[in-house]
Amino acid sequence: MSISQNLQILKEEIPQNVELVAVSKFHPVSMIREAYDTGQRLFGESRVQELLKKKGQLPDDIKWHFIGHLQTNKVRQLIGIPYMIESVDSVRLLELINKESEKIGITTNVLLQIHVAREETKFGFYPEELLEYFTTDSYLSLKSVRICGIMGMATNTDDEETIRKDFRKIHDVFSKIKSNERLHLPYFKCLSMGMSGDWRIGIEEGANIVRIGSAIFGERV
């Protein structure tokens, strides 16, 4: 099936209130263009160099979501390029994004990445660590980042119950922060959960952003 057919099928099934980020990492510009021509405007990339290169070859009205692990030495190059950085996985990185954004006079939209999956390789805050961070007021001094919500991944498994449990844990952290009236987080609304293999479960468990790659573009090489 073609990229446009895949997108059409997904769009029929994904509810209106859920945003679809088409994850184009490792795929060529020509394939992104094909998705763009069907009306897709949100794309996800996981590497700084690859994003910079592709952005230069594609229309300006694309909103790029950065979804990969971001090394601190790459932050400066990245700031100002993506519409949102979904993969902020430490306080240090959050503060650096704030600092570099302030330097160039912009505000960067970010999601905080939560680690609940069983894999050691996944990055992110542990739930308790993030809840703990918001008990201090230090986030209030970050004027050049907009904390828009949370991103998380489930364990890489076929077991639906494990995936659902992981998503519930992520949703639970999201709800605890969002419903805490003592916190000042006016933009905290996004819950990004679900990829090609588990996006339906992600939506059932409350996601309002899904990040789908191979179900649109095919397997990555």
Q: Give the footprint of ligand PLP on this chain (CB under 6 A).
A: 23, 25, 46, 67-68, 195-197, 211-215
Closest residue to bound ligand PLP by CB: 213
Distance CA 64, CA 51 (A): 8
Nearer to ligand PLP, 5 or 135 (CB): 5
Q: Which residues contact 47 (CB under 8 A, 6 or more apart)?
A: 25, 68
In angstroms, give the least distance from the CB of 95 to ligand PLP: 22
Nearest-approach distance from CB 33 to ligand PLP, in angstroms:
19
Compute the least distance from the CB of residue 184 to ligand PLP, in Å.
Answer: 28
Max Cα-Cα span within the chain: 50
- Type of residue numbered 82: P
Altogether, the residues listed in the chain come to a count of: 221
- Choose between 100 and 198: whose C-beta lies nearer to ligand PLP: 198
In the bound state with ligand PLP, the residue whose beta carbon lies nearer, of 124 and 127, is 124
Q: What single-letter amino acid sits at 192?
A: S
AA letter at 148: C
CB of 165 to ligand PLP, least distance (A): 19
Burial of 161 (0-12, 13-18, 19+ CB in 10 A): exposed
- Give 67 or 70: the residue with its C-beta nearer to ligand PLP: 67
Q: How far is CA 67 from CA 13, 70, 103, 162, 186, in A?
A: 23, 8, 23, 23, 22
Shortest Å distance, C-beta 89 to ligand PLP = 11
Instruction: Provide the minimum distance between the beta carbon of 169 and ligand PLP in the complex, in angstroms, as a whole number.
Output: 17
Of 40, 28, 1, nearest to 212 (Cα)? 40
User: Smaller CB distance to ligand PLP: residue 23 or 145?
Assistant: 23
Our CB check for ligand PLP shows the closer of 144 and 162 to be 162
